[in-house]
Amino acid sequence: MSNTTGQDTGQKPAYELLGLTAGEYRGICERMGREPNYVELAVFSLMWSEHCGYKHSRPLLGRLPTEGERILQGPGENAGIVDIGGGLAVAMKIESHNHPSAIEPFQGAATGIGGIVRDIFAMGARPVANLDPLHFGSLDKPRQRFLLDGVVEGIAAYGNCMGIPTVAGEIHFEDAYEDNCLINVMCVGLVRQEDIIRARATGPGNLVVLIGSSTGRDGIGGASILASAEFDETAEEKRPTVQVGNPFMEKKLLEACLEMRDKGLLVALQDLGAGGLSSSSSEMASKGGTGIDIDIARVPLREPDMEPFEIMISESQERMLAVVEPSREAEVMAVCEKWDLDATVVGKVTDTGRLRVFDGDEPIADMPVKALVDEAPTYVVEPRRPEHERDQPLPEDHYPQPEDLGRVLLDLLASPNVCSKRWVYEQYDHMVQTDNALWPGGDAAVLRIKGRRDGIALTSDGNGRRTFLDPRRGGRAVVAEAARNLSCVGAEPLAITNCLNFGNPEKGPIYYQFQQAVEGMAEACEALGTPVTGGNVSFYNESFGQAVYPNPVVGMLGLVEDTGRLGTHRFQNAGDLILLAGDARPAADGSEYQLTVHGEVAGRIPDVDLEGERRLQALVRRAVREGLAASAHDISDGGLACCIAESAIEGGLGAAVDLEALAGGARDGLRPDLLLFGEVSGLVVLSAAPAAARRLQEEAGDVPLAVIGEVGGDRLTFTGAGGPAIDVPLAAAADAWQNALERRMAP
């Protein structure tokens, strides 16, 4: 076979430059029955990269529950699919675009959106929502402001142009992400069940059609280099490999693909993401149990002098690969022409079980599909508990209690992790498609389904700080928090998609964190009945040897029975009673209070009582659905005081809270600062009219439900035995919370 060298590789063997080990190279030779040529080696290096091959995660991911009666498609396809009844289904997927965004925030984030949106319409679904969980370093640093600004603009530019509302997300700022931001993107689509398309290349003789942008050198090596190696000083030099997004092209691609779906023209559909043509064609062949022949001479190029291997691994954006029957070719071309899209037959499905690449008539690569897709080696690393982990939480008197708790409240409300993210979500078109029954800012987004009474609820959550202190508890907590957020709007949690952001898994402590976090998530998913529909693993989130906080990010889907009866976090009426539901004891460990006021992240986070969590959430959902609760809001960053302050600010009504009523049950004897600002899973603040509050208490069963205060007035007061611990004007709290981010980002 010709073209074996492709490139001068100097002294190091080619496989090493492509990121493969000597052992992996031997494995490739064995499976090939000979030495691979450079094209084949390039394709293998991508397919066997951590990013495509899940070498360190595959053995552990099996622990996650992936089955349930609503799960129509679990992990392994472009996206997971969940049955929501009435013949409809939801496609959902989350992905990371961390490294590209750290290099070039605007394009990195934009192409992240492009990729995840393609995953959704590859399933035949129309994208209806984007969610974007983001993690940056401290905003005190100009570079971090630049990153936030660029990432948000990139998401806005792409998502807004596509006409897909960005309905929710979350943003955290911690030093741990300073050199390695986490940019996760999630997309959700709706599809009639009979319209679901899969990426199975079936029917030898069927045509393989490349649709969309021409192929250039962008992103070459992206999958193997960018996503699978740590960052260092050379990151800047890697800039040329960052892809540039064209949302207008993708909008046309979306509409054309859905039109072809409606006309029944597609046997299979797959997006070209990481690994480009190599991974899309081999994965389609693998799923179809077939082979694929590709003729690279037919691939429309943006640059004339591209090498064969470059064409095979290019990550040019806005391209889809379709399998169509020869008799429908003309119809496919007609749809593409209508949308002014290039479409080219670049190959055909075969029964060989091999991915064969030709340059015109000349064969240039021939590889077994199974070896490429299913036989990437897996690695198990000896897990080692990180040294910072503690068996015991900090003693509750570890920190002195601040004198001015009102000041603490205002500082926490103005912390970028707690404050309103309006500055961000107003840059996203969050209303297009006119389905948003709840606008951003609450616990979860709710979208109506036109023509139906029910709707879908969406949230994304991640808390690296807690997972850092205890990965198993952190894994449990993040799933529980997502479910709690959905319950607060009245939704029944159905399923999750996850993006697991970790450091270098070849290191024992990182492997340990990954293993423990997956274990914790699995336990919570089982207890709360939310299987995993797929997702993404992002390893090597390290810079200069320092890993980010281990951060499993969860995107969760829920169903609301009636979009006319939704929970809101806003207080509604003066005179309503404020209730605290749940029986957990907040702690400083891992809290925003600990970081902002005491300047450290230390201790051990409290465990999550999953059984109690399940009961609590059922009560909250009932309270919302039956209209008994006027508001419901999950206690998270900033603790109970910030939770109540947010409900008050957004509702335009003050609140008076009795700290003594708060300090019962599990919270017996807890110091006021921890009562107010400590954090723990399993607490929700409700408000209700007095009669409704009484009914709620009767119905609460074994879920503790304490009346702790009253809505009304224009101040926020928290009063203990010795008088008011906090007494601040609502307007001051509102100013701190609403405008903090805008002030930080002002030029």
Partner 1 sequence: MAASPHTAAPPARFGVVIFPGSNCDADTHDAIETFAGAEGRYLWHKETRLDDLDCVILPGGFSYGDYLRSGAIARFSPLMEAVRRFAAEGGLVMGICNGFQVLLEAGLLPGAMQQNEKLKFICRLVSLKVENDQTPFTRRYRQGQVIQAPIAHHEGNYFIDEEGLAELEANGQVVLRYCDPEGEVTQEANPNGSLANIAGICNREGNVFGMMPHPERVCDALVGGTDGRGVFDSIIDSVRERSGR
Q: Which residues belong to the active site?
A: 51, 97
Q: Select the residue interacting with partner 1 from 29, 431, 691, 731 (CB under 8 A).
A: 431
Residue 4 DSSP symbol = -
Does residue 121 touch partner 1 according to CB under 8 A? no
3-state secondary structure of 332: helix
| Cβ 426 vs Cβ 553: under 8 Å | no
Would you say 344 or 427 has its CB closer to partner 1? Answer: 427
Q: How far is the CB of 373 from partner 1 (least distance, A)?
A: 35
Among 34, 450, 452, 743, binds partner 1 (CB under 8 A): 450
Cα separation, 342 vs 335, in Å, equals: 10
Q: Which residue in 108, 247, 471, 552 binds partner 1 (CB under 8 A)? A: 247
For the four alpha carbons of 115, 182, 538 and 475, in that order, the dihedral sign comes to negative
Tokens of 48: 């066997």
The answer to whether residues 520 and 557 touch, using CB atoms and an 8 Å cutoff, is no
Supply 244's token pair. Answer: 């540039």
Closest CA to 474 of 483, 462, 482, 487: 462
Q: Does residue 568 interact with partner 1 by CB under 8 A? A: no
Looking at the Cβ atoms of 198 and 569, the one nearer to partner 1 is 569
Stretch near partner 1 under the rule CB under 8 A, chosen from 219-227, 246-254, 473-481, 487-495: 246-254
**Residue with smaller CB distance to partner 1, 28 or 125:** 125
β 268-271/319-324 pair status: antiparallel
Question: Contact at 8 Å (CB) between 227 and 205?
Answer: no
Residue whose CB is less far from partner 1, 48 or 423? 423
- Nearest to residue 2, comparing CAs of 283, 352, 360? 360
641, 719 Cβ separation under 8 angstroms = no
The H or E element containing residue 145 is helix 142-162
β-strands 577-581, 684-688: how paired?
Answer: antiparallel
Q: Which is nearer to partner 1, 46 or 260 (CB)?
A: 260
- The residue from 354, 430, 466, 570 that contacts partner 1 (CB under 8 A) is 430
CB of 626 to partner 1, least distance (A): 19
Number of helices followed by number of strands (H, E) in the chain: 25, 28
Binding part of the chain for partner 1, among 242-250, 322-330, 392-400, 620-628 by CB under 8 A, reads 242-250
Give the per-residue contact string, 648-677, with partner 1 (x = CB under 8 A; - = no). Answer: ------------------------------
Neighbouring C-alpha atoms within 13 Å toward the C-beta of 347:
30
Residue whose CB is less far from partner 1, 32 or 161:
161
Contact window for partner 1 (CB under 8 A) among 55-63, 68-76, 80-88, 419-427: 419-427
Instruction: Select from 420-428, 527-535, 580-588, 631-639 the region that touches partner 1 (CB under 8 A).
Output: 420-428
Interface segment toward partner 1; rule CB under 8 A; list 1-9, 150-158, 233-241, 691-699: 150-158
For residue 139, state whether it binds partner 1 (rule: CB under 8 A): no
Rounded to 5 degrees, what angle do the CA atoms 228, 145, 482 make?
A: 65
Rounded CA-CA distance 25/22 in Å is 5
Q: Does 246 bind partner 1 (CB under 8 A)?
A: yes
Q: Is 146 in the site for partner 1 (CB under 8 A)?
A: no
Which residues on neighbouring strands pair with residue 173, listed in sequence order? 136
Q: Does 434 bind partner 1 (CB under 8 A)?
A: yes
Single out the residue of 69, 340, 391, 698 in contact with partner 1 (rule: CB under 8 A): 340
Which residues inside 320-339 make contact with partner 1, applying CB under 8 A? 339
Q: Which stretch binds partner 1 (CB under 8 A): 92-100, 117-125, 386-394, 436-444?
A: 436-444
Count how many Cα atoms sit within 13 Å of the Cα of residue 228 in the half-sphere of its side chain. 24
Is 544 a binding residue for partner 1 by CB under 8 A? The answer is no
With tokens 């009560």, the residue in question is 619
Please report how close the Cβ of residue 244 comes to partner 1 at its closest, in angstroms. Answer: 12
The C-alpha angle 539, 599, 647, rounded to 5 degrees, equals 85
What is the per-residue binding string for partner 1 in 160-189, x denoting contact by CB under 8 A? xxxx--------------------------
- Under the criterion CB under 8 A, does residue 251 sit at the interface with partner 1? yes
d(CA 195, CA 519): 35
Least distance from C-beta 155 to partner 1, angstroms? 10
C-alpha 286/C-alpha 375 separation (Å) is 11
Looking at residue 31, its amino acid is R
Please tell me whether residue 506 binds partner 1 under the rule CB under 8 A. no
Q: Does 621 bind partner 1 (CB under 8 A)?
A: no
Q: Are 213 and 249 in contact (CB under 8 A)?
A: yes
Binding site residues, partner 1, CB under 8 A: 153, 156-157, 160-163, 246-249, 251-252, 255, 339-340, 425-437, 439, 448, 450, 563-564
